[in-house]
Amino acid sequence: MKRRFFVIGFLCVLLFAFRSADMFIDLPECFGKPVYDFKKSPLTYQRVELGRKLFYDPILSKNNQISCASCHSSYNAFAHIDHDLSHGIYDSIGKRNAPALMNLAWQSSFMWDGAVNHIEVQALAPISNPIEMDESLVNIVAKLQRAQPYPRLFFEAFGDSVITGERVLLSLAQFQLTLISCNSKYDSVMAGTSAFTAQEEIGYNLFRQNCASCHKEPLMSNYEFRNNGLKVDTTLNDYGRVVMTANPKDSLLFKVPTLRNIEYTYPYMHDGRFKTLNQVMNHYTSGIVMYPTLSPELKKPIVLSANDKIDLISFLLTLSDKSFVFNRNFAYPSPNNSSSAPKE
Amino acid sequence: MDRHLRENMVIILHINYTQVRAFVRNIFVSAIAAFVLLLNTSFINLRSDKITFTGYFGTQQLMSGKNYYSASRGDSISVDMLRFYVSKVEILQNGHVWGQADYKLIDVFDTASNFLGVDYYGLGPMTELRFYLGIDSTTNMAGVGKNDLDPTKGMYWTWQSGYINLKLEGASKLCKSNRGKYQYHIGGYSYPANALRTVVLKVDRYTGEFNVAVDVEQFFANVDMKETTHVMSPSLKSQGLADQAVKMFSLK
């Protein structure tokens, strides 16, 4: 009797396994418990691949010319290389530097000013911004319904071919959640499988003394908002987080960016004003403007000799993750999607 | 008789006695359960109460784009759009919640989406209808929503996360804006700009149907329409308008 129940149970499980065509993806557990609730919407291969296709498809913009990848290139750790301010549709110039995208599952807010509270709704901001993609989610849904092979891809990802705003946004989020970078030299040193050079070691100690309170290990950011003493650019007059909160204490506060892959994500700062890491070093040692909302950590001057700066930069370069920037699963999807099948 | 045997017999007898007691109790409980079940099937049915929202301007039924003269404001006002979320919709009897519905986007000008149903098992009469006007902070923090919460419904801010609890748009000569237009997009889910409000309506005469009047004149009565013509972000102004919006609701 017991055996019969067992067999029936086993057949049910088998049936269920075959019924659900979804292949679930397990993410590497690099940084402990993520902020994102993967239990609520588990990543599936079909949704991630659909999100990837959408990420690279200019159909998301009003004139079908700008995609997410226009400003977030995989080869630059999903930042916008060589552009201080990102340019969007009709050659419009934005107000801020496109941030690099990585380890987003561990972030609780998005955008330089934290305007977005969840990765699933983040894409609405650039899509709707008139100088970025200038498109509405309603139009995108209408366009995707007519664009092959999207109805089929939505069917494969969601079990029916109905395209909704929710599904578009969820797919985009699922792809971006897979963008995990934790395979740098720094990571292998921390894991004990590699060692810093003498210069990197000195740089690491300087980093821990001067930078690590905001650029907290191992994510290399505390993802909080800080005023890091940048002089206000009077052509932009961007006061950061205060626009969201209307709290004067938030004047000139911007999200602390991660330092991971910093080698690839130039230019630097929320407005991309510094082209090189040297300029960044010089800002922190001699360029800080003493605004009332200046981060308390920066009120005491940071003293670094010319050699210190070189050593610190040599450490920062250990945060480069080549396996991340050259990951073919993150790059422009091939037409038949065959190169990116999940490895079992 | 052997002493040990006697003790054993006592134990056996005791076990039998407790088993009999449990048996009798089980029959008694089953009988009560059967009786209650019988009661349920005959008297306590699954009810589905319909809650319908109808727009009014004072005593007149509200039509899209039509001008209504407001005696208190001394000029006419028209409304093109009146859409809002109701969530955690509860039907109560003497303070006890009998039925609940999660959320619904109401458009008073669209007869296909100006109502919702609340299912429950219970005996009438219900004494209270209660709902949130808007979407609570937990839902606002939970990422993208589906169905009526899909951002394609036009009730989600794009440049800053958060649902728009209520949209009221139209025109009046009272407004100093271009072509006298006004746009009130009320929302904001977190301190200090929380615009979520609770509407509580007492039921005088329960019929199994709730006809909720949404009287926009009550809203306009205390809004400075000359200066306040466009409110489209979470703010103190948005909260003031949310307080006015609650006053629109009454049971017909």
Q: Cα–Cα distance between B57 and B218 in angstroms, integer?
A: 8
Closest chain A residue by Cα to residue B235: A246
SS3 label, residue B239: helix
Sign (positive/negative) of CA torsion A257, A260, A263, A265?
A: negative
Residue A3 confidence (pLDDT): 66
Q: A130-144, B25-39, B135-149, B157-171: which range is least confident on average? A: B25-39
What pLDDT score does A324 carry? 96
Cβ-based interface (< 8 Å): residues of A facing B: 40-41, 115-121, 124-125, 127-129, 137-138, 141, 164-166, 169-170, 173, 244, 246
Token representation of residue B27: 């029959």
Q: Which of A21-35, A114-128, B106-120 has the lowest mean pLDDT?
A: A21-35
Question: Rg of the Cα trace of chain A?
Answer: 22
Residue in B136, B144, B190, B232 to test binding to A, most A beta-carbons within 10 Å: B144
d(CA A185, CA A316): 10
Of the ranges A46-50, A228-232, B38-42, B146-150, which one carries the lowest mean pLDDT score? B38-42
Q: Is A244 left (phi over 0), alpha (psi -120 to 50) or beta?
A: alpha
For A248, half-sphere exposure in the C-beta direction (CA atoms, 13 angstrom radius) is 2
Q: What is the mean pLDDT of chain B?
A: 89
Count of alpha carbons within 13 Å of A52, Cβ hemisphere only?
22
3-state DSSP call for residue B250? strand
Q: At what angle do helices A150-158 and A137-146 cross, to 10 degrees?
A: 100
Q: How far apart are CA A182 and CA A201, in angstroms?
A: 19
Contact present, B196 and B165 (Cβ < 8 Å)? yes
Q: How confident is the model over A196-248, as pLDDT tens digits?
A: 999 999 999 999 999 999 999 999 999 999 999 999 999 999 999 999 898 99
pLDDT value, residue B115: 97
Residue B142 has what pLDDT? 95
- Note the pLDDT tens digit of each residue in A168-184: 999 999 999 999 999 99
Q: How far apart are CA B8 and CA B198, in angstroms?
A: 68
Mean pLDDT is lowest, of A25-39, A123-137, B49-63, B131-145, for A25-39
The residue written with tokens 């000139």 in the block is A252
Predicted confidence at residue B16, as pLDDT, reads 66
Q: If DSSP codes are grouped into helix, strand and coil, which group holds residue A44?
A: strand
**Residue showing tokens 């109805």:** A151
- Give residue A8's pLDDT band: very low, low, confident or very high (50, 70, 90): low
The pLDDT, as a whole number, for residue B31 is 84
The pLDDT, as a whole number, for residue A17 is: 46
Using a CB-CB cut-off of 8 Å, the residues of chain A touching B158 are 124-125, 127-129
Verify whether the Cβ–Cβ distance B146 to A127 is below 8 Å: no
Q: Say what the pLDDT of residue B191 is.
A: 85
Nearest CA in chain B to A128: B158
Residues B3-34: pLDDT tens digits? 565 665 555 555 567 777 878 888 888 888 87
Mean pLDDT of all residues belonging to chain A:
91
Q: B165: distance to nearest CA of chain A, Å?
A: 17
Q: Cβ B158–A127 below 8 Å, yes or no? A: yes
Candidate from A40-54, A85-99, A252-266, A277-291 with smallest mean pLDDT = A85-99
Report d(CA A230, CA A288) in Å as an integer: 6
Q: Among residues of chain A, what percentage have pLDDT more than 70?
A: 90
Q: What pLDDT score does B12 carry?
A: 56
Question: How many whole angstroms separate alpha carbon B235 and alpha carbon A110?
Answer: 21
Contact A121 B142 (CB under 8 A): no
- β-pairing, B46-57 with B209-215? parallel
Instruction: Name the residue with higher pLDDT: A23 or B218.
Output: B218
* Tokens 């001057």 found at: A301
Burial class (CB in 10 A: 0-12, 13-18, 19+), A24: exposed
pLDDT at A343: 39
Answer yes or no: is pLDDT of A22 > 90: no
Report the pLDDT averaged over residues A105-134. 95
Dihedral angle sign, alpha carbons of residues A65, A70, A71, A72 = positive
| Confidence check: pLDDT of A344 > 50 | no
Helix (H) or strand (E) holding B18, with range, is: helix B3-43
According to DSSP, the residues that pair with B61 across neighbouring strands are: B56
**Rounded distance, CA B57 to CA B61, Å?**
6
Mean pLDDT on A90-100: 89
User: Is pLDDT at A18 greater than 90 in this prediction?
Assistant: no
Residue contact A246–B141, C-beta within 8 A: no
For B150, which residue in chain A has the nearest alpha carbon?
Answer: A166
Asked if the model's pLDDT at residue B159 lies above 70, the reply is yes
Secondary structure class of A193 (helix, strand, coil): coil
Banded pLDDT at A20 (limits 50, 70, 90): very low
- Pairing relationship of beta strands B115-121 and B96-107 according to DSSP bridges: unpaired
Angle between helices A150-158 and A165-177 (to 10 degrees): 70
Query: B176 is written with which tokens?
Result: 């100093």
CA–CA min distance B121, chain A (Å): 30
- Phi/psi at B40 (nearest 5 deg)? -55, -55
pLDDT at A281: 97
Of A5-14, A26-35, A295-304, which has the strongest mean pLDDT? Answer: A295-304
Across A268-282, B120-134, B223-237, the highest mean pLDDT is recorded for: A268-282
Whether residues A169 and B151 touch (CB distance < 8 A) is answered with yes
Count of residues in chain A: 344
pLDDT of B39: 59
Question: What are the helix (H) ranges across chain A?
Answer: 2-19, 45-55, 68-71, 119-122, 124-128, 137-146, 150-158, 165-177, 185-190, 198-210, 242-245, 277-282, 306-316, 322-325
The arithmetic mean of pLDDT across residues B239-247, rounded, is 96
ipTM over 0.90: no
In B, which residues are within 8 Å of A119 by CB distance? 143
For A19-62, the DSSP string reads: H--PPB-PPP-SSSS-SS-TTTS--BHHHHHHHHHHHT-GGGST
Bond prior to B125 in cis (omega within 30° of 0): yes
User: Taking a C-beta distance cutoff of 8 angstroms, is the pair B63, B57 a contact?
Assistant: no
The span from the CA of A280 to the CA of B101, in Å, is 54
Name B204's bridge partners.
Answer: none
Classify B71 in phi/psi space as left (phi over 0), alpha (psi -120 to 50) or beta. Answer: alpha
Lowest model confidence (mean pLDDT) among A6-20, A216-230, A262-276, B236-250 = A6-20
Q: Of A86-90, A126-130, B34-38, B148-152, give the lowest mean pLDDT range.
A: B34-38
* Amino acid (1-letter code) at residue B219: F
Return d(Cα A150, Cα A140) in angstroms, integer. 11
